[in-house]
Chain A
């Protein structure tokens, strides 16, 4: 089969790529932040003294990790209107990706919690700190340092997962790729362009994470 690879054929469509990349980045960054918050709550629940709370935390993690993100997105966007919740494409995608990523985030944060010695909890309590103060000032800073490197993996996973948002009509990079490919019949070129955009977006987030790590931590090991 002779196929002439000409990126020139996609040039007229590149204008639409900028807002698409912005949308991918927006959804990804927001989903990372939201999933970290939900993940932290679930991770703490999994370490609770109460069995029921531990169960709910574990159940959340298993349900989210054992359902494909695409199915979660379909439930949030197409099925939730049946019970009266009508979300826009953007909100549905953000919610679906955040809920899914929180399952993985919870496990990463839980690993960090386990690494904090028992004595730290006891010392904080002995100082008369409330539970919130203990987590805020003593536990989470240590957790954060332990999990900073594995978080990088998860950040990239979220950016790549955002490509499924096109299934619920979000006009992000994958949507641009499919639409432009279908309109120009130049799928090969649009696939390559989209792949480059994803590499650039992932590396942008990754370099930002490394830079923040340099500002936050003194030990070089924790920075990466």
Chain B
């Protein structure tokens, strides 16, 4: 009886060991994104192509901007090369879901709905979505434009899809895939108002003197964060720690001032 018990014990131990080794092999094969990135020696970072000063294309076709500098700093901290993938608004989420890239640094507003399918770090910037209008627009505040004749340029799949209708329930939504297209339609008079990050708006007002202005009031507050594929705690842990230190060491403030020309607003929500 004793012997049989011992035999069972051995079998159980062997089985457990086998299961562990198989499990370990499987984990190694799929691995955390962290392992894949370190093995590959590059981190694939999705950025936008037409959202100055967050990101824009230089005439030679390489991206530059605040988000791009953050991407390169992050890659340097991981001691790997940054492989920048220029994407658009709708693709930011799907690209993470299908592991086309390892993270996004793309003026990405975090919210609960999005975080049911992808993960977000803590924010590196808190800003708000405001209304950019032609200089001769009669409106003073956003709600002055609540009219069925008003056409609002928005991003397909951006947070403006949710934030604009409550403030402008009567206006028509005109959907584009990239900010450059929205801005072109606004400057052409094919749309009357564009909902976008106030920091982007300020740059456009500066770059198109005498053509644009921003309205009082905001559609929504936006916590800008790095997006990650869901379900990979190791990857989240490392990137979130990096964001924390990027904020805490003042590197973020320096980078922000370089691209925006004024001081980084406090990174906390105003309740």
Contact = CB atoms under 8 A, between A and B. Distances in A.
A175 B154 CA distance: 13
Nearest to A171: B175
Nearest to A175: B175
B161 interface: yes
A167 interface: yes
B230 to A, nearest CB: 11
Interface of A: 1, 77-78, 81, 86-89, 166-167, 169, 171, 175, 178-179, 181-183, 185, 187
A183 B90 CA distance: 9
B170 to A, nearest CB: 17
Nearest to A179: B156
A182 B90 contact: yes
A81 B161 contact: no
Contacts of A81: 188-190
Contacts of A86: 188-190
Looking at chain B's contact residues, the main secondary structure is: mixed
A54 to B, nearest CB: 37
A201 to B, nearest CB: 21
Contacts of B114: 185
A181 B90 contact: yes
A179 B157 contact: yes
A167 B90 CA distance: 13
Contacts, number: 57
Contact of A181 (B157, B158, B174, B175): B157
Contacts of A88: 190
Contacts of A169: 153, 174-176, 181, 185
B177 A178 contact: yes
Contact of B174 (A89, A167, A185): A89
Given A86-B188, A179-B161, A185 B97 contact: yes
Contact of B175 (A1, A87, A179, A187): A179
A78 B175 contact: no
A88 B185 CA distance: 10
B177 A78 contact: no
A7 B14 CA distance: 45
Given A78-B181, A182-B93, A89 B190 contact: yes
A67 B181 CA distance: 20
Given A81-B190, A182-B158, 19 more contacts: A1-B98, A77-B185, A81-B189, A89-B174, A89-B190, A166-B175, A167-B181, A169-B174, A169-B175, A169-B176, A169-B181, A178-B177, A181-B94, A182-B89, A182-B161, A183-B161, A185-B114, A185-B116, A185-B117
B184 interface: yes
Contacts of B157: 178-179, 181-183
Contacts of B117: 185
